[in-house]
């Protein structure tokens, strides 16, 4: 059985959605879906807000109950029948994200066992056939095939294997 490793933020969890939600709360400025998907969040906001926004991720509530990326629930459920699925997230950068991420996975993907959840940093430590991730930096030393999941911050990245949404993941693997 081939093994697929799947990242969390911007692949199955909508962290940018949380940034947008808190930015509206704090500065009363709202962005459209179109804006959020076509430009990096840091290029959308007022330059003088950048330092303030950067600290959001260190707040205990930031990673709690994030929205789910559309299609991920259904497609991963089907992938799970034919592949070994591991969730592999660079969570060690933000220790405050560890427990919210455990809870989020239990809520949204209860059939993914604790044995198949990996919190790491450098993803070259992952032994899998495929890695679906929004950061090309994780592919550089990865042992398998990196599959770039489109996010606003990687639109200009040059990578030969790219999927734009979960429907395209389904088409690639099933």
Can you tell me the distance from the alpha carbon of 92 to that of 163, in angstroms, rounded to the nearest whole number? Answer: 26
Q: Of the candidates 46, 127, 164, 167, which one interacts with a copy of itself according to CB under 8 A?
A: 127
Count, residues near a copy of itself per rule CB under 8 A = 28
Considering beta carbons, is residue 124 or 164 the nearer one to a copy of itself? 124
Instruction: Report the residue number, 45 or 79, with the smaller CB distance to a copy of itself.
Output: 79
Report the nearest approach of a copy of itself to the CB of residue 119 (Å): 4
CB of 142 to a copy of itself, least distance (A): 9
Ranges within 129-168 binding a copy of itself (CB under 8 A): 143
What three-state secondary structure class fits 63? coil
Query: How far apart are CB 112 and a copy of itself at their closest, in Å?
Result: 10
Nearest Cα residue to 146 out of 37, 135, 44 = 135
Q: CA 159, CA 143: separation in Å to the nearest integer?
A: 16
Task: Answer for the pair 147, 161: CB distance below 8 angstroms, yes or no.
Answer: yes
Can residue 107 be called a binding residue for a copy of itself (CB under 8 A)?
no
CA gap 141, 23 in Å, rounded? 35
CB of 90 to a copy of itself, least distance (A): 8
Identify the active-site residue in 7, 14, 133, 134.
7
> Residue 35 is encoded by which pair of tokens?
């804006």
Among 51, 110, 168, 159, residue whose Cα is nearest residue 102: 110
Is residue 9 among the annotated active site residues? yes
Distance between CA atoms of residues 132 and 11, nearest Å: 8
Question: Mind telling me the catalytic residues?
Answer: 7, 9
Task: List residues binding a copy of itself (CB under 8 A).
Answer: 3, 5, 86, 88, 90-93, 95, 98-99, 102, 113-122, 124-128, 143
């Amino acid at each position: 059985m081939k093994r697929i490793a799947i990242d969390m933020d911007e692949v199955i969890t909508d962290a940018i959605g949380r940034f947008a939600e808190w930015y509206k709360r704090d500065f009363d400025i709202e962005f459209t879906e179109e804006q959020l998907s076509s430009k990096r969040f840091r290029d959308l906001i007022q330059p003088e807000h950048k330092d303030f926004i950067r600290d959001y991720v260190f707040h205990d509530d930031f990673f709690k109950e994030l929205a789910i990326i559309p299609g991920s629930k259904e497609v991963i459920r089907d992938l799970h029948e034919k592949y070994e699925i591991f969730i592999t997230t660079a969570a060690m950068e933000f220790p405050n994200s560890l427990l919210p991420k455990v809870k989020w996975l239990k809520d949204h993907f209860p059939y993914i066992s604790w044995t198949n959840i990996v919190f790491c940093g450098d993803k070259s430590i992952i032994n899998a056939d495929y890695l679906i991730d929004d950061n090309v930096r994780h592919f550089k030393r990865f042992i398998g095939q990196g599959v770039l999941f489109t996010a606003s911050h990687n639109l200009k990245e040059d990578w030969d294997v790219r999927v734009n949404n979960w429907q395209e993941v389904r088409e690639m693997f099933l």
